[in-house]
Structure 1
Protein backbone atom coordinates (compact mmCIF):
# COMPACT_ATOMS: atom_id res chain seq x y z
CA UNK A 1 0.00 0.00 0.00
CA UNK A 2 1.33 3.43 -0.96
CA UNK A 3 1.27 5.93 1.89
CA UNK A 4 1.46 9.63 1.22
CA UNK A 5 1.85 12.51 3.66
CA UNK A 6 -0.31 15.60 3.64
CA UNK A 7 2.17 17.55 1.51
CA UNK A 8 2.02 14.90 -1.19
CA UNK A 9 -1.79 14.89 -1.04
CA UNK A 10 -1.81 18.66 -1.48
CA UNK A 11 0.70 18.30 -4.29
CA UNK A 12 -1.49 15.72 -6.02
CA UNK A 13 -4.57 17.94 -5.68
CA UNK A 14 -2.61 20.87 -7.08
CA UNK A 15 -1.38 18.71 -9.95
CA UNK A 16 -4.91 17.61 -10.78
CA UNK A 17 -6.08 21.22 -10.96
CA UNK A 18 -3.18 22.04 -13.25
CA UNK A 19 -3.89 19.14 -15.59
CA UNK A 20 -7.63 19.88 -15.72
CA UNK A 21 -7.18 23.58 -16.40
CA UNK A 22 -4.39 22.92 -18.92
CA UNK A 23 -6.61 20.52 -20.86
CA UNK A 24 -9.43 23.08 -20.80
CA UNK A 25 -7.11 25.91 -21.83
CA UNK A 26 -5.80 24.00 -24.84
CA UNK A 27 -9.31 22.91 -25.82
CA UNK A 28 -11.03 26.29 -25.68
CA UNK A 29 -8.21 27.77 -27.73
CA UNK A 30 -8.08 24.89 -30.21
CA UNK A 31 -8.54 27.05 -33.31
CA UNK A 32 -7.72 24.14 -35.70
CA UNK A 33 -10.64 22.18 -34.23
CA UNK A 34 -13.09 24.91 -35.17
CA UNK A 35 -11.57 25.24 -38.63
CA UNK A 36 -11.97 21.48 -39.07
CA UNK A 37 -15.58 21.57 -37.89
CA UNK A 38 -16.47 24.37 -40.29
CA UNK A 39 -16.09 21.83 -43.06
CA UNK A 40 -16.95 18.67 -41.15
CA UNK A 41 -20.23 20.06 -39.79
CA UNK A 42 -21.07 22.20 -42.85
CA UNK A 43 -21.25 25.32 -40.70
CA UNK A 44 -21.01 27.63 -43.72
CA UNK A 45 -24.37 26.26 -44.88
CA UNK A 46 -25.90 27.66 -41.68
CA UNK A 47 -24.53 31.19 -41.99
CA UNK A 48 -24.39 33.58 -44.94
CA UNK A 49 -20.66 34.17 -44.56
CA UNK A 50 -17.43 33.05 -46.16
CA UNK A 51 -15.01 31.01 -44.09
CA UNK A 52 -12.73 34.04 -43.70
CA UNK A 53 -15.61 36.19 -42.46
CA UNK A 54 -16.79 33.49 -40.08
CA UNK A 55 -13.31 33.02 -38.63
CA UNK A 56 -13.00 36.77 -38.12
CA UNK A 57 -16.16 36.71 -36.01
CA UNK A 58 -14.94 33.62 -34.17
CA UNK A 59 -11.70 35.38 -33.28
CA UNK A 60 -13.65 38.40 -32.07
CA UNK A 61 -15.73 36.17 -29.82
CA UNK A 62 -12.69 34.33 -28.47
CA UNK A 63 -10.83 37.59 -27.85
CA UNK A 64 -13.74 38.80 -25.74
CA UNK A 65 -13.86 35.54 -23.79
CA UNK A 66 -10.10 35.33 -23.27
CA UNK A 67 -9.01 38.86 -22.46
CA UNK A 68 -10.24 40.60 -19.29
CA UNK A 69 -9.58 44.06 -20.71
CA UNK A 70 -12.17 43.55 -23.47
CA UNK A 71 -15.37 44.45 -21.66
CA UNK A 72 -17.90 44.41 -24.49
CA UNK A 73 -18.70 41.67 -26.96
CA UNK A 74 -18.82 42.93 -30.53
CA UNK A 75 -18.81 40.74 -33.60
CA UNK A 76 -18.69 42.16 -37.09
CA UNK A 77 -21.48 40.06 -38.59
CA UNK A 78 -23.41 38.71 -35.60
CA UNK A 79 -25.69 40.86 -33.46
CA UNK A 80 -25.92 39.91 -29.79
CA UNK A 81 -29.04 40.16 -27.65
CA UNK A 82 -28.96 41.23 -24.01
CA UNK A 83 -29.53 37.62 -22.96
CA UNK A 84 -26.81 36.36 -25.29
CA UNK A 85 -24.36 38.99 -24.05
CA UNK A 86 -25.12 37.99 -20.46
CA UNK A 87 -24.44 34.33 -21.19
CA UNK A 88 -21.14 35.08 -22.90
CA UNK A 89 -20.20 37.28 -19.94
CA UNK A 90 -20.79 34.29 -17.66
CA UNK A 91 -18.71 32.11 -19.98
CA UNK A 92 -15.97 34.76 -19.89
CA UNK A 93 -15.91 34.55 -16.09
CA UNK A 94 -15.47 30.77 -16.30
CA UNK A 95 -12.65 31.19 -18.83
CA UNK A 96 -10.84 33.65 -16.59
CA UNK A 97 -11.40 31.47 -13.53
CA UNK A 98 -9.87 28.55 -15.41
CA UNK A 99 -6.83 30.62 -16.39
CA UNK A 100 -6.49 31.91 -12.84
CA UNK A 101 -6.48 28.42 -11.34
CA UNK A 102 -3.96 27.27 -13.94
CA UNK A 103 -1.59 30.16 -13.22
CA UNK A 104 -1.88 29.62 -9.46
CA UNK A 105 -1.17 25.89 -9.62
CA UNK A 106 1.22 25.37 -12.52
CA UNK A 107 4.38 26.45 -10.69
CA UNK A 108 3.81 24.47 -7.47
CA UNK A 109 2.69 21.48 -9.55
CA UNK A 110 5.84 21.66 -11.66
CA UNK A 111 8.01 21.90 -8.55
CA UNK A 112 6.16 18.95 -7.01
CA UNK A 113 6.65 16.79 -10.10
CA UNK A 114 10.28 17.83 -10.40
CA UNK A 115 10.93 16.86 -6.78
CA UNK A 116 9.36 13.43 -7.22
CA UNK A 117 11.18 12.97 -10.53
CA UNK A 118 14.57 13.65 -8.95
CA UNK A 119 13.75 11.31 -6.07
CA UNK A 120 12.44 8.71 -8.55
CA UNK A 121 9.17 8.63 -6.61
CA UNK A 122 6.64 9.59 -9.26
CA UNK A 123 5.12 6.16 -8.77
CA UNK A 124 3.57 7.25 -5.44
CA UNK A 125 1.02 9.20 -7.51
CA UNK A 126 -0.11 6.22 -9.56
CA UNK A 127 -3.03 5.13 -7.37
CA UNK A 128 -4.54 8.61 -7.23
CA UNK A 129 -3.91 9.29 -10.90
CA UNK A 130 -5.43 5.96 -11.92
CA UNK A 131 -8.64 6.86 -10.12
CA UNK A 132 -8.58 10.32 -11.70
CA UNK A 133 -8.13 8.77 -15.15
CA UNK A 134 -11.33 6.76 -14.74
CA UNK A 135 -13.56 9.80 -14.18
CA UNK A 136 -13.38 11.10 -17.79
CA UNK A 137 -14.06 7.56 -19.01
CA UNK A 138 -17.42 7.60 -17.23
CA UNK A 139 -18.12 11.12 -18.47
CA UNK A 140 -17.27 10.02 -21.98
CA UNK A 141 -19.67 7.10 -21.71
CA UNK A 142 -22.57 9.38 -20.76
CA UNK A 143 -21.60 11.77 -23.55
CA UNK A 144 -21.72 9.04 -26.19
CA UNK A 145 -24.97 7.62 -24.82
CA UNK A 146 -26.74 10.97 -25.00
CA UNK A 147 -24.74 14.14 -25.50
CA UNK A 148 -27.83 16.33 -25.67
CA UNK A 149 -28.80 15.38 -22.11
CA UNK A 150 -25.19 15.62 -20.94
CA UNK A 151 -24.84 19.08 -22.50
CA UNK A 152 -28.05 20.28 -20.86
CA UNK A 153 -26.94 18.94 -17.47
CA UNK A 154 -23.57 20.65 -17.91
CA UNK A 155 -25.29 24.00 -18.37
CA UNK A 156 -27.56 23.45 -15.39
CA UNK A 157 -24.50 22.78 -13.24
CA UNK A 158 -22.51 25.83 -14.32
CA UNK A 159 -25.30 28.33 -15.00
CA UNK A 160 -28.29 29.16 -12.80
CA UNK A 161 -30.39 30.58 -15.64
CA UNK A 162 -31.57 29.75 -19.15
CA UNK A 163 -29.64 32.49 -20.95
CA UNK A 164 -27.61 29.72 -22.60
CA UNK A 165 -30.67 28.75 -24.65
CA UNK A 166 -30.19 30.95 -27.70
CA UNK A 167 -32.80 32.11 -30.19
CA UNK A 168 -31.12 32.04 -33.63
CA UNK A 169 -33.21 35.03 -34.67
CA UNK A 170 -31.75 37.16 -31.87
CA UNK A 171 -28.33 35.50 -31.52
CA UNK A 172 -27.40 33.99 -34.89
CA UNK A 173 -23.90 33.18 -33.57
CA UNK A 174 -25.43 29.97 -32.23
CA UNK A 175 -25.79 28.79 -35.83
CA UNK A 176 -22.01 28.95 -36.10
CA UNK A 177 -21.57 27.00 -32.86
CA UNK A 178 -23.52 23.76 -33.33
CA UNK A 179 -23.83 21.30 -30.47
CA UNK A 180 -21.65 18.79 -32.30
CA UNK A 181 -18.75 21.26 -32.14
CA UNK A 182 -19.01 21.26 -28.35
CA UNK A 183 -19.15 17.46 -28.42
CA UNK A 184 -15.84 17.44 -30.26
CA UNK A 185 -14.44 19.96 -27.77
CA UNK A 186 -15.37 17.76 -24.81
CA UNK A 187 -13.74 14.79 -26.52
CA UNK A 188 -10.55 16.78 -27.10
CA UNK A 189 -10.44 17.90 -23.46
CA UNK A 190 -10.89 14.33 -22.23
CA UNK A 191 -8.21 12.99 -24.57
CA UNK A 192 -5.74 15.67 -23.48
CA UNK A 193 -6.46 14.99 -19.81
CA UNK A 194 -6.01 11.25 -20.27
CA UNK A 195 -2.78 11.64 -22.24
CA UNK A 196 -1.20 13.80 -19.54
CA UNK A 197 -2.35 11.58 -16.67
CA UNK A 198 -1.40 8.33 -18.39
CA UNK A 199 1.97 9.81 -19.32
CA UNK A 200 2.75 10.55 -15.68
CA UNK A 201 1.54 7.08 -14.66
CA UNK A 202 3.75 5.47 -17.31
CA UNK A 203 6.84 7.34 -16.14
CA UNK A 204 6.01 6.49 -12.53
CA UNK A 205 5.76 2.80 -13.33
CA UNK A 206 9.10 2.85 -15.11
CA UNK A 207 10.70 4.52 -12.11
CA UNK A 208 9.16 1.94 -9.79
CA UNK A 209 10.45 -0.95 -11.92
CA UNK A 210 13.94 0.53 -12.11
CA UNK A 211 13.91 0.96 -8.34
CA UNK A 212 13.15 -2.71 -7.85
Structure 2
Protein backbone atom coordinates (compact mmCIF):
# COMPACT_ATOMS: atom_id res chain seq x y z
CA UNK A 1 0.00 0.00 0.00
CA UNK A 2 1.50 3.32 -1.06
CA UNK A 3 1.82 6.14 1.41
CA UNK A 4 0.25 9.61 0.89
CA UNK A 5 3.77 11.02 0.73
CA UNK A 6 4.65 8.76 -2.19
CA UNK A 7 1.55 9.87 -4.10
CA UNK A 8 2.47 13.51 -3.49
CA UNK A 9 6.00 12.92 -4.81
CA UNK A 10 4.63 11.26 -7.95
CA UNK A 11 2.31 14.21 -8.62
CA UNK A 12 5.14 16.69 -8.08
CA UNK A 13 7.36 14.67 -10.45
CA UNK A 14 4.63 14.57 -13.12
CA UNK A 15 4.03 18.32 -12.81
CA UNK A 16 7.77 18.95 -13.15
CA UNK A 17 7.99 16.75 -16.24
CA UNK A 18 4.93 18.46 -17.75
CA UNK A 19 6.45 21.89 -17.09
CA UNK A 20 9.73 20.88 -18.73
CA UNK A 21 7.85 19.52 -21.77
CA UNK A 22 5.91 22.78 -22.06
CA UNK A 23 9.13 24.81 -21.94
CA UNK A 24 10.69 22.59 -24.63
CA UNK A 25 7.55 22.96 -26.73
CA UNK A 26 7.61 26.76 -26.36
CA UNK A 27 11.28 26.77 -27.40
CA UNK A 28 10.42 24.70 -30.48
CA UNK A 29 7.49 26.99 -31.30
CA UNK A 30 9.82 29.99 -30.91
CA UNK A 31 12.34 28.45 -33.31
CA UNK A 32 9.56 27.84 -35.84
CA UNK A 33 8.58 31.52 -35.67
CA UNK A 34 12.21 32.65 -35.99
CA UNK A 35 12.85 30.39 -39.01
CA UNK A 36 9.61 31.62 -40.58
CA UNK A 37 10.66 35.26 -40.12
CA UNK A 38 14.03 34.54 -41.76
CA UNK A 39 12.42 32.71 -44.69
CA UNK A 40 9.78 35.41 -45.25
CA UNK A 41 12.49 38.08 -45.25
CA UNK A 42 14.44 36.19 -47.91
CA UNK A 43 11.29 35.87 -50.02
CA UNK A 44 10.33 39.53 -49.64
CA UNK A 45 11.95 40.93 -52.79
CA UNK A 46 10.17 44.34 -52.59
CA UNK A 47 12.55 45.33 -49.78
CA UNK A 48 15.50 45.03 -52.15
CA UNK A 49 13.64 46.72 -55.00
CA UNK A 50 13.05 49.67 -52.67
CA UNK A 51 16.72 49.71 -51.62
CA UNK A 52 17.90 49.80 -55.24
CA UNK A 53 16.79 53.42 -55.40
CA UNK A 54 17.04 54.27 -51.71
CA UNK A 55 20.69 53.18 -51.52
CA UNK A 56 21.59 54.37 -55.04
CA UNK A 57 22.78 50.90 -55.97
CA UNK A 58 22.97 51.57 -59.76
CA UNK A 59 25.31 54.49 -59.17
CA UNK A 60 27.37 52.60 -56.59
CA UNK A 61 27.71 49.45 -58.70
CA UNK A 62 27.75 50.82 -62.27
CA UNK A 63 25.05 48.30 -63.25
CA UNK A 64 21.66 49.22 -64.66
CA UNK A 65 18.53 48.69 -62.57
CA UNK A 66 17.31 45.96 -64.95
CA UNK A 67 20.60 44.11 -64.68
CA UNK A 68 20.62 44.46 -60.90
CA UNK A 69 17.07 43.12 -60.59
CA UNK A 70 17.76 40.23 -62.96
CA UNK A 71 20.82 39.06 -61.04
CA UNK A 72 19.28 39.63 -57.60
CA UNK A 73 16.17 37.65 -58.58
CA UNK A 74 18.41 34.84 -59.79
CA UNK A 75 20.27 34.72 -56.45
CA UNK A 76 17.03 34.63 -54.42
CA UNK A 77 15.43 31.99 -56.64
CA UNK A 78 18.63 29.95 -56.43
CA UNK A 79 18.62 30.12 -52.62
CA UNK A 80 14.91 29.28 -52.39
CA UNK A 81 15.06 26.30 -54.73
CA UNK A 82 15.24 22.93 -52.95
CA UNK A 83 16.98 21.44 -55.99
CA UNK A 84 20.74 21.01 -56.29
CA UNK A 85 21.92 23.24 -59.13
CA UNK A 86 24.98 25.09 -60.33
CA UNK A 87 25.29 28.75 -59.37
CA UNK A 88 25.40 30.74 -62.60
CA UNK A 89 24.65 34.45 -62.53
CA UNK A 90 22.87 35.76 -65.67
CA UNK A 91 25.21 38.63 -66.49
CA UNK A 92 27.49 39.60 -63.59
CA UNK A 93 30.89 37.84 -63.50
CA UNK A 94 31.85 35.84 -60.42
CA UNK A 95 34.77 33.81 -59.09
CA UNK A 96 34.95 30.22 -57.91
CA UNK A 97 35.09 31.52 -54.33
CA UNK A 98 31.91 33.52 -54.90
CA UNK A 99 30.21 30.44 -56.31
CA UNK A 100 31.24 28.36 -53.29
CA UNK A 101 29.93 31.03 -50.90
CA UNK A 102 26.49 31.07 -52.50
CA UNK A 103 26.42 27.27 -52.38
CA UNK A 104 27.18 27.50 -48.66
CA UNK A 105 24.36 30.02 -48.19
CA UNK A 106 22.00 27.72 -50.10
CA UNK A 107 22.89 24.83 -47.75
CA UNK A 108 21.99 27.01 -44.77
CA UNK A 109 18.59 27.88 -46.22
CA UNK A 110 17.98 24.25 -47.17
CA UNK A 111 18.70 23.37 -43.53
CA UNK A 112 16.26 26.07 -42.43
CA UNK A 113 13.60 24.52 -44.68
CA UNK A 114 14.11 21.16 -42.98
CA UNK A 115 14.00 22.74 -39.52
CA UNK A 116 10.83 24.61 -40.52
CA UNK A 117 9.13 21.31 -41.33
CA UNK A 118 10.25 19.65 -38.09
CA UNK A 119 9.49 22.58 -35.76
CA UNK A 120 6.29 23.35 -37.68
CA UNK A 121 4.98 19.81 -37.21
CA UNK A 122 5.81 19.83 -33.49
CA UNK A 123 4.30 23.32 -33.10
CA UNK A 124 1.07 22.28 -34.81
CA UNK A 125 0.62 19.12 -32.74
CA UNK A 126 1.53 20.87 -29.50
CA UNK A 127 -0.69 23.89 -30.16
CA UNK A 128 -3.71 21.76 -31.04
CA UNK A 129 -3.21 19.61 -27.94
CA UNK A 130 -2.79 22.61 -25.63
CA UNK A 131 -5.77 24.50 -27.02
CA UNK A 132 -7.90 21.35 -26.83
CA UNK A 133 -7.01 21.08 -23.12
CA UNK A 134 -7.60 24.83 -22.67
CA UNK A 135 -3.96 25.38 -21.71
CA UNK A 136 -3.13 28.70 -23.32
CA UNK A 137 -0.07 29.54 -21.23
CA UNK A 138 2.23 28.24 -24.00
CA UNK A 139 1.34 31.33 -26.06
CA UNK A 140 2.52 33.67 -23.32
CA UNK A 141 5.59 31.52 -22.65
CA UNK A 142 6.56 31.45 -26.33
CA UNK A 143 6.19 35.23 -26.62
CA UNK A 144 8.38 35.67 -23.52
CA UNK A 145 11.11 33.48 -25.05
CA UNK A 146 10.92 35.38 -28.35
CA UNK A 147 11.39 38.76 -26.63
CA UNK A 148 15.02 37.88 -25.92
CA UNK A 149 16.13 37.71 -29.57
CA UNK A 150 14.89 41.15 -30.73
CA UNK A 151 16.47 42.76 -27.66
CA UNK A 152 19.82 41.05 -28.30
CA UNK A 153 19.75 41.80 -32.05
CA UNK A 154 18.70 45.43 -31.71
CA UNK A 155 21.35 46.01 -29.05
CA UNK A 156 24.04 44.48 -31.28
CA UNK A 157 22.85 46.47 -34.33
CA UNK A 158 22.88 49.77 -32.42
CA UNK A 159 26.33 49.16 -30.98
CA UNK A 160 28.01 48.05 -34.22
CA UNK A 161 26.13 46.36 -37.07
CA UNK A 162 29.35 45.73 -39.01
CA UNK A 163 30.84 43.78 -36.10
CA UNK A 164 27.59 41.83 -35.61
CA UNK A 165 27.52 41.08 -39.36
CA UNK A 166 31.10 39.80 -39.21
CA UNK A 167 30.44 37.62 -36.15
CA UNK A 168 27.39 36.13 -37.87
CA UNK A 169 29.49 35.07 -40.87
CA UNK A 170 32.26 33.63 -38.71
CA UNK A 171 29.71 31.51 -36.85
CA UNK A 172 27.89 30.14 -39.90
CA UNK A 173 30.72 29.83 -42.44
CA UNK A 174 33.85 27.71 -42.19
CA UNK A 175 35.81 29.82 -44.70
CA UNK A 176 36.34 33.48 -45.52
CA UNK A 177 34.83 33.35 -49.02
CA UNK A 178 32.13 35.74 -47.82
CA UNK A 179 34.79 38.47 -47.91
CA UNK A 180 34.16 39.32 -51.55
CA UNK A 181 36.72 41.09 -53.71
CA UNK A 182 34.71 43.53 -55.89
CA UNK A 183 37.26 43.10 -58.70
CA UNK A 184 36.47 39.41 -59.21
CA UNK A 185 33.03 39.30 -57.55
CA UNK A 186 31.32 42.58 -58.49
CA UNK A 187 27.98 41.19 -57.24
CA UNK A 188 29.00 42.45 -53.81
CA UNK A 189 28.51 45.97 -55.21
CA UNK A 190 24.78 45.31 -55.69
CA UNK A 191 24.48 43.82 -52.18
CA UNK A 192 25.52 46.68 -49.86
CA UNK A 193 25.76 46.12 -46.13
CA UNK A 194 22.88 48.53 -45.49
CA UNK A 195 20.55 46.22 -47.40
CA UNK A 196 21.44 43.39 -45.00
CA UNK A 197 20.86 45.82 -42.14
CA UNK A 198 17.38 46.55 -43.47
CA UNK A 199 16.77 42.80 -43.87
CA UNK A 200 17.82 42.21 -40.27
CA UNK A 201 15.43 44.95 -39.12
CA UNK A 202 12.62 43.27 -41.07
CA UNK A 203 13.30 40.00 -39.26
CA UNK A 204 13.18 41.84 -35.93
CA UNK A 205 9.94 43.59 -36.96
CA UNK A 206 8.33 40.24 -37.87
CA UNK A 207 9.38 38.81 -34.52
CA UNK A 208 7.90 41.80 -32.67
CA UNK A 209 4.61 41.39 -34.59
CA UNK A 210 4.65 37.68 -33.66
CA UNK A 211 5.24 38.50 -29.98
CA UNK A 212 2.37 41.00 -29.90
CA UNK A 213 0.07 38.60 -31.77
CA UNK A 214 0.81 35.74 -29.37
CA UNK A 215 0.13 38.00 -26.37
CA UNK A 216 -3.14 39.25 -27.88
CA UNK A 217 -4.33 35.71 -28.74
CA UNK A 218 -3.37 34.53 -25.24
CA UNK A 219 -5.39 37.32 -23.57
CA UNK A 220 -8.46 36.66 -25.72
CA UNK A 221 -8.40 32.88 -25.20
CA UNK A 222 -7.63 33.18 -21.45
CA UNK A 223 -10.55 35.60 -21.03
CA UNK A 224 -12.94 33.02 -22.53
CA UNK A 225 -11.56 30.18 -20.39
Give the TM-score taking structure 1 as reference length: 0.90
Is the 8 Å Cα contact of residues 123 and 205 (structure 1) preserved in structure 2?
A: no
Q: In the alignment, does 2:187 pair up with 1:173?
A: yes
* Residues matched between the structures, number: 210
Partner of 1:87: 101
Is the 8 Å Cα contact of residues 182 and 188 (structure 2) preserved in structure 1?
A: yes
Is the 8 Å Cα contact of residues 27 and 142 (structure 2) preserved in structure 1?
A: no
- Which of 133, 144, 148 is equivalent to 2:147? 133
Structure 1 or 2, whichever has the larger Rg, is: 2
- Unpaired runs of 5+ in structure 1? none
C-alpha RMSD of matched pairs (Å)? 2.0
- Mapping of 1:1-212 within 5 angstroms? 4-211=18-225
Is the 8 Å Cα contact of residues 123 and 201 (structure 1) preserved in structure 2?
A: no
Q: In structure 1, what is the Cα distance between the partners aligned to 2:164 and 2:49?
A: 24
* C-alpha distance after superposition, 1:3-47 (max 9, x if no partner): 743432332222112101100100111101000110111111123
Is the 8 Å Cα contact of residues 139 and 218 (structure 2) preserved in structure 1?
A: yes
**TM-aligned CA distance change 1:24 to 1:18, over 3 Å:** same
Q: In structure 1, what is the Cα distance between the partners aligned to 2:89 and 2:44?
A: 19
Shift of 1:128: 4.8
Q: In structure 2, what is the Cα distance between the partners aligned to 1:193 and 1:85?
A: 31
Is the 8 Å Cα contact of residues 29 and 142 (structure 2) preserved in structure 1?
A: no
Is the 8 Å Cα contact of residues 14 and 109 (structure 1) preserved in structure 2?
A: yes
